[in-house]
């Protein structure tokens, strides 16, 4: 056996980066979440060649102080978390302080940023985790992060990338979810020079559904709203006659975070009781709001899973909200016609 040695920080960083940055869509997710956490009301995402050529995210949020710009790229560097106790009450999408470090470790990045009120902006460039000194530079209010040549220094990962079209589709799907999860933010998504999504950011979930998922899907939806204790459930579910062939149109958010959850899926489907034909599934855009202390978001590096403190209560709140809404429109008495 070779001797045991601690890895160099460079190799350790590359390994850690692999967990956070799996593909272009993971970069877009992290950058957009940062923009949302920065309080942006408008976010523009541009990609070229599925994000492998270029990813650019522009926001009009709070910006980054010039002296903190290099720090933002260090591992475990964050403005969103201070103490161990804070971990129990996370109200931001980010908190791990890993994303910018991970992204910069496996790409060439440029940041241009200016805080509202500052007279000039600042810029930084980095390649493969090495950041150059901060430069003073004119900039609009907010932050633009440009990521080029993703995985240029990790051939193992580069080899496993799918076709550009598949990566583009993954980013487009993600953009739908992000836009739906924040109707108060105007999202624009441009792929290879073409605008493919634009939400108004008027705060209405309905508007975001319409813009992101289209008129046809919006027409099949029934609004739902309810609560159980301090758990609030609201959004839209498909009418029972509009059961779908898969679960792909089930979109859940918990406190503004898009997540995957078997518990929520089960609760939703239970709400339909026997109203759906065998092999048909409901679609939904459902938001669950609950106190930040009642949900653990520190479950997985990609933050797409959560753990509820009171799973039964969450299940019941979703189940009853959906059932009541469907009952109220008289759905319970009519069985859907065969497709």
* Contacts with Mg ion, residue ranges (CB under 5 A): 34, 94, 99
Instruction: Determine the Cα–Cα distance for residues 328 and 22; give it in Å rounded to an integer.
Output: 44
Nearer Cβ to ligand ADP, position 48 or 79?
79
Nearer Cβ to ligand ADP, position 26 or 261?
26
Residue 124 makes contact with ligand ADP by CB under 6 A:
no
Contacted entry of Mg ion, ligand ADP, none for residue 79, CB cut-off 5 to 8 Å set by kind: ligand ADP
Enumerate the β-bridge partners of residue 46. Answer: 56, 190
Identify whether the C-beta of residue 102 lies closer than 8 Å to the C-beta of residue 23. Answer: no
Binding mask 134-173 for ligand ADP (x = CB under 6 A): ---------x------------------------------
CB of 79 to ligand ADP, least distance (A): 3
Which of 41, 48, 79, 154 lies at the binding interface for ligand ADP (CB under 6 A)? Answer: 79
CB of 290 to Mg ion, least distance (A): 22
CB of 166 to ligand ADP, least distance (A): 25
Length of the chain: 339
Which of 51, 61, 126, 235 lies at the binding interface for ligand ADP (CB under 6 A)? Answer: 61
Token readout for 84 is 């161990």
Stretch that binds ligand ADP, among 72-80, 133-141, 219-227, 269-277 (CB under 6 A): 72-80
CB of 111 to ligand ADP, least distance (A): 8
Calculate the CA 193 to chain-centre distance: 22
Which of 78, 181, 199, 321 lies at the binding interface for ligand ADP (CB under 6 A)? Answer: 78
Exposed e or buried b for every residue in 252-274, given b needs 16+ CB within 10 A?
bbbbebbbebebbbebbbebbee
Three-state SS for 158? helix
Residue 30 makes contact with ligand ADP by CB under 6 A:
yes
Residue 91 makes contact with ligand ADP by CB under 6 A:
no
Three-state SS for 42? strand
Site size toward ligand ADP (CB under 6 A) is 23
Three-state SS for 201? coil
CB of 74 to Mg ion, least distance (A): 13
Which of 62, 179, 284, 306 lies at the binding interface for ligand ADP (CB under 6 A)? Answer: 62
Identify whether the C-beta of residue 233 lies closer than 8 Å to the C-beta of residue 224. Answer: yes
End-to-end CA distance of the chain: 64
Residue 58 makes contact with ligand ADP by CB under 6 A:
no
Instruction: Determine the Cα–Cα distance for residues 309 and 295; give it in Å rounded to an integer.
Output: 6
CB of 115 to ligand ADP, least distance (A): 9
Which of 29, 96, 114, 280 lies at the binding interface for ligand ADP (CB under 6 A)? Answer: 96
Nearer Cβ to ligand ADP, position 95 or 308?
95
Contacted entry of ligand ADP, Mg ion, none for residue 78, CB cut-off 5 to 8 Å set by kind: ligand ADP
Cα separations in angstroms, 171 against 25, 33, 144, 258 = 5, 14, 18, 14
Instruction: Determine the Cα–Cα distance for residues 30 and 304; give it in Å rounded to an integer.
Output: 12
CB atoms within 10 A of CB 334: 11
HSE toward the beta carbon, residue 8, CA cutoff 13 A: 3
Residue nearest to ligand ADP (CB): 94
CB atoms within 10 A of CB 135: 13
Binding site for ligand ADP (CB under 6 A): 30, 34-35, 38, 59, 61-64, 72, 77-80, 94-101, 143
């Amino acid at each position: 056996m070779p001797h045991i040695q601690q890895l160099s920080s460079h190799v350790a960083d590359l390994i850690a980066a692999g967990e956070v940055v799996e593909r272009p869509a993971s970069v877009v997710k992290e950058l957009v979440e940062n923009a949302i956490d920065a309080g942006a009301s408008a976010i523009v995402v541009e990609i070229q060649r599925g994000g492998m050529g270029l990813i650019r995210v522009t926001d009009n949020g709070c910006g980054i102080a010039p002296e903190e710009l290099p720090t933002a790229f260090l591992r475990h560097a964050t403005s969103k978390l201070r103490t161990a106790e804070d971990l129990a009450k996370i109200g931001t999408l980010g908190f791990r302080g890993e994303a910018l470090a991970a992204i910069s470790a496996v790409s060439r990045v440029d940041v241009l940023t200016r805080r509202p009120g500052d007279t000039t902006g600042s810029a930084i460039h980095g390649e493969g985790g090495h950041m150059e000194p901060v430069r003073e530079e004119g900039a609009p209010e907010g932050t633009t992060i440009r990521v080029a040549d993703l995985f240029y220094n990790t051939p193992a990962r580069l080899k496993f990338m799918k076709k550009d079209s598949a990566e583009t589709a993954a980013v487009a799907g993600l953009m739908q979810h992000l836009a739906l999860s924040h109707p108060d933010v105007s999202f624009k998504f441009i792929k290879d020079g073409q605008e493919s999504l634009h939400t108004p950011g008027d705060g209405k979930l309905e508007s975001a559904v319409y813009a992101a998922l289209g008129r046809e899907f919006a027409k099949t939806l029934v609004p739902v709203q309810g609560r159980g204790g301090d758990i609030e459930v609201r959004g839209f579910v498909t009418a029972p006659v509009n059961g779908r062939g898969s679960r792909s149109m089930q979109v859940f958010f918990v406190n503004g975070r898009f997540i995957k959850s078997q518990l929520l899926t089960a609760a939703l489907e239970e709400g339909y009781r026997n109203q759906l034909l065998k092999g048909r599934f409901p679609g939904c855009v459902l938001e669950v709001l609950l106190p930040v202390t009642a949900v653990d978001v520190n479950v997985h590096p990609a933050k797409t899973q959560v753990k509820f403190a009171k799973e039964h209560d969450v299940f019941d709140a979703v189940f009853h909200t959906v059932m009541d809404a469907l009952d109220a429109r008289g759905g319970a008495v009519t069985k859907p016609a065969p497709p």
